[in-house]
């Protein structure tokens, strides 16, 4: 039939076409006046990413929602936060983020943070779960004023624990860059690809872990809180977890490896509750 419109859902070769998600969130927050409460100054959202702001006492809380339900092959997501001087913000996610299998394309997540003088940010997303054959490239960049404070935690789970899933093939690249007053103070890179579950089973890599957590505190007192952090880790100890804290160069880092995500979430939540002297965001408790 002449003039027939090609099927928009198929590529030229006849294979099903894919719809890529391109989600972006940009938030600028700060007090309306000196000493005032932090509020939203500007917010833009596109694609499936949304920010919601539940009412409650304490610092402004932002909850990131991915209406796409996860990250699929070739998706790209970015979050940009710009905190004005003296801001106080807590960011979390409504649920665990799922990274689905890919037949080749790599998904990208980029988090870009800027903290003005005296600003404070608690970056507390729930865990990221990688499915078998997931391919993800994630980057975390933060620029802090000399007296700004950043507390960030990330939990990564390799395979769906409830299904006993193993990652027989996949790729996870994670890069952290934190600058204070323009000077690089923290850099961390992780690349693990191929049969990830088998690699993590090696004693020198993961010691049979299937989940890991990194917690970073960059603040004036972070390095001096090392003994406190180690005490909190001991008090929050869970079976099947190896965790340790170290401090240098004006920041503190906690790393943990776990054979299960449940105990790891419990340890992280208990540690953060004590370390911040604040309850976890409500979405963590549901």
pLDDT digits (tens, 9 = 90+) for 222-259: 999 999 999 999 999 888 899 999 999 999 999 999 98
Instruction: Report the candidate in 86, 79, 70 with the shortest Cα–Cα distance to residue 44.
Output: 79
What distance in Å separates the CA atoms of residue 146 and residue 17, rounded to the nearest whole number? 48
**Domains in the chain: how many in total?**
1
pLDDT of residue 163: 78
Maximal C-alpha separation, the chain: 77
Q: How many residues does the chain have?
A: 286
Residue matched to tokens 């539940």: 54
What distance in Å separates the CA atoms of residue 27 and residue 80, rounded to the nearest whole number? 6
What distance in Å separates the CA atoms of residue 219 and residue 250, rounded to the nearest whole number? 7
**263, part of any domain:** yes
Residue 136 structure tokens: 């993800």
pLDDT of residue 162: 73
**6, part of any domain:** no
pLDDT of residue 39: 93
pLDDT of residue 12: 46
**25, part of any domain:** no
**47, part of any domain:** yes
**30, part of any domain:** no
**140, part of any domain:** yes
**Contact at 8 Å (CB) between 211 and 255?**
no
220 CB-contact burial (10 Å; exposed 0-12 / middle 13-18 / buried 19+): exposed
Query: Which positions of the chain have pLDDT values less than 70?
Result: 1-18, 286
pLDDT of residue 17: 56
pLDDT of residue 35: 72
What distance in Å separates the CA atoms of residue 75 and residue 277, rounded to the nearest whole number? 37
pLDDT of residue 245: 97
**2, part of any domain:** no
30 CB-contact burial (10 Å; exposed 0-12 / middle 13-18 / buried 19+): buried
**15, part of any domain:** no
Quote the domain boundaries for residue 232.
38-285
H helical segments located in the chain: 196-200, 226-235, 261-276
pLDDT of residue 18: 64
């Amino acid at each position: 039939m002449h003039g027939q419109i090609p099927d928009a859902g198929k590529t030229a070769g006849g294979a099903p076409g894919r719809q890529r998600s391109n989600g972006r969130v940009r938030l600028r927050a700060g007090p309306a006046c000196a000493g005032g409460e932090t509020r939203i100054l500007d917010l833009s959202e596109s694609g499936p990413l949304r920010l919601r702001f539940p009412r409650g006492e304490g610092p402004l809380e932002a909850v990131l929602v991915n209406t796409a339900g996860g990250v699929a092959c070739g998706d790209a997501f970015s979050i940009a936060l710009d905190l004005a001087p003296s801001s106080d913000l807590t960011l979390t996610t409504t649920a665990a983020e799922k990274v689905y299998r890919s037949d080749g394309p790599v998904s990208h997540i980029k988090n870009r943070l800027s903290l003005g003088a005296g600003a404070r940010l608690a970056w507390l997303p729930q865990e990221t779960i990688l499915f078998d054959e997931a391919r993800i490239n994630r980057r975390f960049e933060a620029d802090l004023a000399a007296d700004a404070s950043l507390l960030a935690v990330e939990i990564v789970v390799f395979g769906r624990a409830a299904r006993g899933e193993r990652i027989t093939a996949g790729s996870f690249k994670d890069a952290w860059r934190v600058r204070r007053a323009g000077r690089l103070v923290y850099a961390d890179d992780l690349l693990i690809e191929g049969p990830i579950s088998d690699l993590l089973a090696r004693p020198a890599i993961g010691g049979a872990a299937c989940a890991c957590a990194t917690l970073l505190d960059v603040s004036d007192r972070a390095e001096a809180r090392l003994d406190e952090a180690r005490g909190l880790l001991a008090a929050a100890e869970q079976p099947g977890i190896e965790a340790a804290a170290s401090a240098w160069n004006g920041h503190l880092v906690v790393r943990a490896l776990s054979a299960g995500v449940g105990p790891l979430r419990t340890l992280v939540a208990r540690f953060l509750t004590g370390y911040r002297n604040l309850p976890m965001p409500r979405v963590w408790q549901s």
